Structure 1
Amino acid sequence: MIHPLTYAGSDRIALYSNEFAARPHECYREMRQRYGSLVPVELSPGVPATLVIGYRTAVRVLHDPAHFPVDPRSWEKGIPDECPVKPMLAWRPNAIRSAGEEHRRYREANVAALSAVDLHGLHAVVERIAVPLIARFCGVGAADLIADYARPLAFQVVNAMLGCSPEIGQRVATGVVTLFEGSDAAAGNAMLVAALHELVTGKRTDPGDDVTTRLVRHPAGFDDQEVIEQLVTLYAAGVEPVHNLIANTLLLILTNERFAGNLLGGSLSTRDALDEVLFLDPPIANFCMTYPRQPVLLDDIWLPAHQPVIISIAACNTDPTISGGDHTGNRSHLAWGAGPHACPARQPAYLIAQDGVDQLLDALPEIELSVSPDELPWRPGPFHRALGTLPVVFDPARPFADWHPV
């Protein structure tokens, strides 16, 4: 049996290992027993960080930007460009990586652009995209719900919200996936930025009713690069995490009798399943990076200056000091962050994920996994909780569009 914790140099736990990806909850339990609320980890070989796994400690960090600022520029000076996680953590002119007046300027523009999204119209967008995706495989009797459904659904819906063409969006999606996996993050970042530059310049000459146009026209007066950086954040938060949320929720429904039996019976809702996943298997498991400017004493441990402090959302949500066994109706999880940098897009994200799950289960209510849950591959990476595939089988149905008009 492989020991659940894989150690890197100096007794640090390697968050990028296959073992960690396969058994994160075992790892979090052992971390808690061995280290308490603060854990020495490596994000990639030779990149140390501190992982916060205590809920109350995480809330304290997230609400204390004076001691735990989000600007990584002092840290990244000592990180080589070829480091696989540097593009994911590096400074960008956006709300996630800025403080003070810069943060206010970027966040206000993003909140305004997202608040103008018509949520009722977004329901129709999700249905319009989901129906033909399901129609492609409903007559086959088998599918990979990642490649065939969750990923293209999230990608196409975010494209629609941002007013992005399918061709540009495909390059964006490839770049985002590469960034999260950290295998060739620099190439992924370059692909992402080049594609978004085309999108932004196009919206300046041909505006629309979309998030990109609202950012271009916001009174903050962003230049092209600033708009691109806001879009990088929106795509990174909208494609990879949302498709993983859909997939992880479908996995829960297909493998947990409490949901599998009760969703169709009406006693539990898709929203309940989503919140269970956001507690136990959030699509972004470790994130909310901060970089103390000087050594900071936290829970009787001195944290070094300019070294990442990362919130383990998944571990904090299951902290036994605050977490009970049943999370139904409980939305106190940290999956959306907390404090001044809390996610401003939770409503659209919830809607896309919930509608995506409902559309599939309405069409194919008897769907089942085609392999044992233990055989499902989890993609390695320090930040996400992401399935590689989600293969299912079901009785072939007549073409979806025959009875569910688009």
Structure 2
Amino acid sequence: MESPQRSAPQSPPPGCPMHGTPLYGETFSSDPGAVYDKLRTYGHAAPVELSPGVDATLVTSHEAALRVLQNPALFARDSRRWAALNEGRVPLDSPVLPMMFYRPNCLFTDGAEHLRLRKAVTESLERLNDNRLNRHVERIAGYLIDQFSGLGRADLINDYAKLLPLLLFNQLFGCPADIGDRLTRSMSALFDGLDVVEANEELNACLMELVALKRRRPGDDITSWLVQHPAGLRDEELKDQLVMLMGAGVEPERNLIGNALLVLLSGEGGTLRIEDALDDVLWNNPPIANYATHYPMQDVEVDGVPMDAGSPVVISFAAANSDPALTDARLTLSKGAHLAWGAGPHACPAKSPAQLIALTAIEYLFNALPDVALSVPAGSVEWRPGPFQRGLVSLPVRFSPAFARTSGTGGAPGGPGGPGVVPAPVPGMQQAPAAAPGTPPQPSAAAPAPGRPAGKQKGWWSSFLDVFRL
């Protein structure tokens, strides 16, 4: 992440009349719906504070959200237009800047450049085969479940929903062991807000190494497909498309899986199919609640709400989906009419694979652990703070310990291995020792991969590769 070199300004304290309603802190994370209701008293959009000293306008109505999302001639995505940042009025250590700084990828570009980059991304994603993607998810899901299945308890966020997308993107990007371990660590640190500057530098470095590797030795993976695409992306452009794919894929997928598991395990709405639980989340608790930041090209009014040129205009997918104006219309709207995937030229290009990944991950978990149940009341779960995402801190569960392996060669119990057949233990793997509740398990012990010094701490990806010899 490149940023201007200047001193951070002194910001007025939170709650100052200069700022809008805070979208951070316990009040917002515990009950965002109440905050959205308050913001609706301003009209179709309202002033908010994304983090201390970072002001924006939040669009809360479904109609106004579509007006912004579908009008690229008036609302740009290029954050280099952000007037307050350019004028030194934004704290440079703000935790929201990594999600808002400009990168030359199809998320932050407009016009012909956006079309060129998006074409490379969408056509590369279209080469993903559903059956192959499903096998990747099942294999990773089984591997992760193996780490805690003998304990009788787990945290389905930190032990499962968080790690599965990270490992899957290593697979889809064609990462070798070392690069994959570094990629997993740096992305985890960025999402958790830990050592953000160092993690961002490491993320950029390992992705540039991956791009260089795929130029020399292309494979059957997204990185190679982007390298080979006729758009002729430069190395920096390739790196930034991969950053965008990771950011737009890992965090939302984690939250989609976790939020749907909460719906299913809490029994909200009675007995639901997994597909219905996912749809419930996308409408009522979207994984990315507020984002798609736009910058007006000129001073403009949207449904009577003034928006200054170059000021951040953030779309609230959560508030738009729960817009009271849609109460009656939702009875006749299609399931996909929500805005969780965005709309307009920047709409998510990967909603089909994203839904397939979540569906497969949840289905596999319930097949492997059929009696899984929440170990805390559903109403006591804690939500992660922050203005953009809507995700759980943890999801503690209990189940009958299962010492049979699920990640060998046959897939989920009752799956390709045959009805009720669970694959034999994977050589070299050991049962995870008991750990304190809420502590993420570590990768199982396995023989060191060729070329790796004995005793060197392995990460999740290299341990996974050791098991499957991919």
Q: Note whether the superposition's TM-score is higher than 0.5.
A: yes
CA distance in 2 between partners of 1:16 and 1:213 (Å): 39
Which one-letter code corresponds to 1:377 in the other structure?
E
Q: Which residue of 2 aligns with 1:399?
A: 404
SS, match of residue 400 in structure 1: coil
Which one-letter code corresponds to 2:343 in the other structure?
A
Kept after mapping to 2: 8 A contact 1:180/1:384: no
Q: Which residue of 2 aligns with 1:370?
A: 375
Q: Choose the corresponding residue for 2:262, options 244, 251, 259.
A: 251
Q: Choose the corresponding residue for 2:317, options 313, 317, 329.
A: 313
Tell me the alpha carbon deviations over residues 327-360 of structure 1, each in whole angstroms, 9 at most, x when there is no partner.
9972211111100000111111111110000000
Which one-letter code corresponds to 2:398 in the other structure?
V
For the pair 1:288 / 2:292, whether they are aligned, the reply is: yes
Which one-letter code corresponds to 1:29 in the other structure?
D
Kept after mapping to 2: 8 A contact 1:177/1:240: no
SS, match of residue 321 in structure 1: helix
Which one-letter code corresponds to 1:350 in the other structure?
Q
State how many pairs are aligned: 393
For the pair 1:39 / 2:46, whether they are aligned, the reply is: yes
CA distance in 1 between partners of 2:125 and 2:26 (Å): 36
Q: Choose the corresponding residue for 1:49, options 43, 46, 56.
A: 56
CA distance in 1 between partners of 2:186 and 2:22 (Å): 24
Matches within 5 A, 1:77-116: 77-78=86-87, 79-116=90-127
For the pair 1:12 / 2:20, whether they are aligned, the reply is: yes
CA distance in 2 between partners of 1:355 and 1:192 (Å): 28
Cα gap change, 1:210/1:361 in structure 2, threshold over 3 Å: closer, same or farther? same
Tell me the alpha carbon deviations over residues 342-380 of structure 1, each in whole angstroms, 9 at most, x when there is no partner.
011111111111000000011112211111223222111
Q: Displacement of 1:71 after TM fit?
A: 0.9
Matches within 5 A, 1:5-404: 7=15, 9-10=17-18, 12-32=20-40, 34-75=41-82, 76-78=85-87, 79-180=90-191, 185-259=196-270, 262-263=271-272, 269-323=273-327, 330-401=335-406, 403-404=421-422
Cα gap change, 1:184/1:326 in structure 2, threshold over 3 Å: closer, same or farther? farther
Deviates more, 1:306-315 or 1:172-181: 172-181
5+ long unaligned stretches in structure 2: 1-13, 409-420, 425-470
Q: Displacement of 1:156 after TM fit?
A: 1.0
Which one-letter code corresponds to 1:307 in the other structure?
S
Cα gap change, 1:391/1:167 in structure 2, threshold over 3 Å: closer, same or farther? farther
Deviates more, 1:20-29 or 1:325-334: 325-334
CA distance in 1 between partners of 2:130 and 2:371 (Å): 29
Cα gap change, 1:169/1:314 in structure 2, threshold over 3 Å: closer, same or farther? farther
Q: Displacement of 1:69 after TM fit?
A: 0.8
Cα gap change, 1:174/1:284 in structure 2, threshold over 3 Å: closer, same or farther? farther
Cα gap change, 1:341/1:164 in structure 2, threshold over 3 Å: closer, same or farther? same
Which one-letter code corresponds to 1:290 in the other structure?
H
Cα gap change, 1:159/1:270 in structure 2, threshold over 3 Å: closer, same or farther? same
Higher helix share: 1
Kept after mapping to 1: 8 A contact 2:19/2:49: no
CA distance in 1 between partners of 2:194 and 2:86 (Å): 21
CA distance in 2 between partners of 1:327 and 1:366 (Å): 36
CA distance in 1 between partners of 2:247 and 2:315 (Å): 18
SS, match of residue 334 in structure 1: coil
SS, match of residue 204 in structure 1: helix
CA distance in 2 between partners of 1:39 and 1:301 (Å): 8
Which one-letter code corresponds to 1:113 in the other structure?
S
Cα gap change, 1:172/1:209 in structure 2, threshold over 3 Å: closer, same or farther? same
Which one-letter code corresponds to 1:365 in the other structure?
P
Which one-letter code corresponds to 1:169 in the other structure?
G
Deviates more, 1:47-56 or 1:191-200: 191-200
CA distance in 1 between partners of 2:28 and 2:216 (Å): 47
Which one-letter code corresponds to 2:78 in the other structure?
D
- Name the TM-score, length of structure 1 as normaliser: 0.91
